Structure 1
Amino acid sequence: MNRSITTTRRFALSAAACAAIAGVGVLGSSAALAQAYPNKPVTIVVPFAAGGTTDILARIIGQALTTELGQSVIVDNRAGAGGNIGGALAAKSPADGYTLFMGTVGTHAINAALYKKMPFDPIKDFAPLTRVANVPNLLVANPAQPYKSVKELIAYAKANPGKVNFGSSGNGSSIHLSGELFKSLAKVDMVHVPYKGSAPAVTDLLGNQIGIMFDNMPSAIQHVRSGKLVPIAVTTAKRSPELPNVPTIAEAGVPGYEATSWFGMFAPAGTPAPVLAKLNSALVKVLNQADVKKKINEQGAEAYSETPEQFAAFIQAESVKWGKVVKESGASLD
């Protein structure tokens, strides 16, 4: 009996010692992993075409991260399906910190409600790192169009139902739903024209192939400043500091209207915690650098950073908000 007790105690102590050694090994390997990361280039998958807001922000942040991480940060544009093509690619990439994803309100708060089948789960397949920017959308028109204000646009659209075409970066994007919300609240009939990204839509807007866009400000503001596009209104509750003379849609004649886009950085789910922590720390650091903030603010956006936990809670709230908008709009895609 005593021998049995002694043997059992020895076994328990041995097991505890092994567990402790294993724990030390895990901690040691985690620390080593964080210290070694990154030792090769990092790729940011952008799910929209080059030249759009998502791409512009990714390149500003990628350039700063290159210096901060000591490795090249490459932007890889994979446009299509409202961001789902790029999202699926990033979600299925190795969870090692070398593939990041520049997600948007569309990919992580709208598409799950809009598409009948999703190629990835925006919550389960990604590890949120931080929001990087909040962006107002800007209602802009080609100068050749006969309206220069919200009231003139509404009057023209009501007098010419189905004659106003508004472009977007894709079905279900925040740019698309900003237009749908406008149609609903202003009670006008306009035709949505989806593109594979904001940049090609802006190209057609500049060529007067479409009349208006509710574009993300970073990809439209340069054309407003050059006089190639007419700024009609901003979609946010407050005016933009970059365009203080441009009214909000709500104050210009559509009470209750408000829509804001946001952009954030993600890693594939399963990426080691030490790597996620290092990436969040690096992102927060660069997003608070004066030159990075200036570059983002000059695009009409607001630089933003937070903890992964705060970002995750924000995404949950946004999913509820935009899911309701999608449902009320009746929009649905296969």
Structure 2
Amino acid sequence: MTPTRRRALLALAALPATLPTTGRAQTGARPPGQLIIPFAAGASADGVGRLIGAGLGPRIERNLVADNRPGAGGTLGLTLLARAPADGSVLGIGATGAVVINPHTPDATPFDPLAQLAPLARVAEIPLVLVAGAASGLRNLPDVIARAKAEPNGLSFGTTGTNSAQHLAIVTLARTTRSNLVHIPYRGSAPAVTDVLAGNLPLACVDLTSAQAHIQAGTLAAIGLTGGRRAQLAPDIPTIAEGGVPGFSVTAWMGLFGPAALPEAMRQRISRAVGEIVAEPDAQRGLLALATEPDFLGHAEFARFLSAESARWRDLLGTLGRTE
């Protein structure tokens, strides 16, 4: 964890559980609301949730109480959100895996996020990067593709786990380029990066913040970002699309959700408020310090994005073997 990110997490963790609102809200006798954060306190997603909640409370005239509900890869908190009153008093943070990937996995629960939740706004993108170890001899995407096609047993890559956004990004790359990239799941980005640094693994796809210090030190080579654009956090790193796979884009993100029956007028109001927050320079600096990129989509556009992403991962996961 970088010192900047550590300071940001400590500052956000110091925010009170009840996120302050304006005097008008406090005197209006409106009961406190709840912001469900389905991740552990102190994680980047917790910081993003608290940052958005701190700005949103005054705009919707309701105190928002941060409520961390980690579990089931972010799904546990969202199932609670789906059963909450649809009056704007309970909102929640959701991320890629729980919303558009997990529902299509073989062991998925009956929970259907797109049917049971109301998308309100996309808030941030989480940059993912494919990296190679210094001893691997891999320096760019053509190197990776050529080696993966030439090796009889393929070229191994590590990720945070099976069916993570990182895993599916490289599966998509392998299929697009018809190269043999073999998945090795790890329990998080840090151990995968450790094995690449040690020369035990040639490649890993991880969140940028886990690899950036090593990229800057020259001990990891940045092959490419999986998203469709370069990251503000590391503008010198090209995208995979720039590296030779036009149109390639796989993103990880975080957004704000409510219960499915939330009225349209309330969806619009909350979406506009989040757009104002993400546009503020202080909020943008805060999101960047948490190793995320400010990336707002309003509620209607976010819903269309989620529908397309869900269909994309449903189709891909439907064709995967358990060992791919």
Q: TM-score, normalised by structure 2?
A: 0.71
Q: Say which of 164, 183, 201 aligns to 2:189.
A: 201
Q: Say which of 87, 102, 111 aligns to 2:93.
A: 102
Q: 1:214 to 1:279 in 2, by over 3 A?
A: same
Residue of structure 1 in register with 2:274 after alignment:
283
Q: 1:244-323 to 2 correspondence within 5 Å?
A: 244-271=235-262, 276=267, 279-297=270-288, 301-323=292-314
2:123 maps to 1:132 = yes
Q: 1:1-334 to 2 correspondence within 5 Å?
A: 36-37=29-30, 39=32, 42-47=34-39, 51=43, 54-65=45-56, 71=63, 73-74=65-66, 76=68, 78-80=70-72, 82-93=73-84, 95=86, 97=88, 99-115=90-106, 117-157=108-148, 158-159=150-151, 161-162=153-154, 164-168=156-160, 170-194=161-185, 200-208=188-196, 211-218=202-209, 220-221=211-212, 224-225=215-216, 229-271=220-262, 276=267, 279-297=270-288, 301-327=292-318, 329-330=319-320
| One-letter amino acid matched to 2:32 | N
Instruction: Count matched residues.
Output: 294
Q: For residue 99 of structure 1, report the CA deviation from its aligned partner.
A: 4.3
Distance 2:275 2:185 in 1: 34
Q: Which runs of 5+ in 1 are unaligned?
A: 1-31
Answer whether contact 2:157 2:205 (CA < 8 A) is retained: no
Q: Which runs of 5+ in 2 are unaligned?
A: 1-24
Distance 2:89 2:217 in 1: 38
Name the SS of the counterpart of 2:114 in structure 1: coil
Answer whether contact 1:250 1:256 (CA < 8 A) is retained: yes
Percent of residue pairs bearing the same amino acid type: 30
Distance 2:250 2:294 in 1: 17
CA RMSD across the alignment: 3.9
Answer whether contact 1:105 1:174 (CA < 8 A) is retained: yes
Question: What's the CA shift string for 1:56-104, capped at 9, x where partnerless?
Answer: 5334434544676674653625243x54344334334555645433223
Distance 2:245 2:194 in 1: 26
Question: What's the CA shift string for 1:199-226, capped at 9, x where partnerless?
Answer: x323442354654333343554455446
Distance 1:46 1:118 in 2: 16
Q: For residue 276 of structure 1, report the CA deviation from its aligned partner.
A: 5.0
Distance 1:90 1:331 in 2: 32
Residue of structure 2 in register with 1:16 after alignment:
none
| One-letter amino acid matched to 1:330 | L
Q: 1:230 to 1:299 in 2, by over 3 A?
A: farther
| One-letter amino acid matched to 2:320 | G
Q: 1:256 to 1:310 in 2, by over 3 A?
A: closer
Answer whether contact 2:192 2:204 (CA < 8 A) is retained: no
Q: 1:220 to 1:94 in 2, by over 3 A?
A: farther
Distance 2:234 2:55 in 1: 26
Distance 2:193 2:42 in 1: 17
CA radius of gyration, larger in: 1
Distance 1:150 1:255 in 2: 12
Q: For residue 143 of structure 1, report the CA deviation from its aligned partner.
A: 4.2
Answer whether contact 2:94 2:254 (CA < 8 A) is retained: yes
